[in-house]
Amino acid sequence: MSGSEKSAAQDAPRQRYVLDDRGFDEVPKKYRKFYRRWGGPGDELEPNEVLCPICKVVIRSTRELRPGDRVYCMACMARLEVIVGEGGRLEADVIY
């Protein structure tokens, strides 16, 4: 277990990601690649992924996520802001 190390890469170019369709069928087909089902506490999230605290769906971005980013959960229609949670992992906070 590591990850408590603070990232000094705040201003570094963001890594980009190519998303694939994980079969998340609760949103229209063209948006499916932006979401996937969460596999539970043992499911490690990628730097471009954040968990919706409301419906526990993983929101995926084409770029690395950083604190302050706004994301939208189409599954429960929540607007979220990316924050650093306990343990230094990225989490999402509900804006409204």
CB count within 10 Å of CB 88 equals: 12
Q: Which tokens sit at 6? A: 């603070």
Contacting residue, 73, 82, 90, 92, with Zn ion by CB under 5 A: 73
Binding of Zn ion by 52 (CB under 5 A): yes
Q: How many residues bind Zn ion (CB under 5 A)?
A: 7
State how far the Cα of 48 lies from the Cα of 94, in Å rounded to an integer. Answer: 18
Whole-number minimum distance, CB 52 to Zn ion, in Å? 3
Our CB check for Zn ion shows the closer of 76 and 83 to be 76
Residue 22's nearest CA partner among 31, 13, 14 is 31
Q: Which residues bind Zn ion (CB under 5 A)?
A: 52, 54-55, 57, 73, 75-76
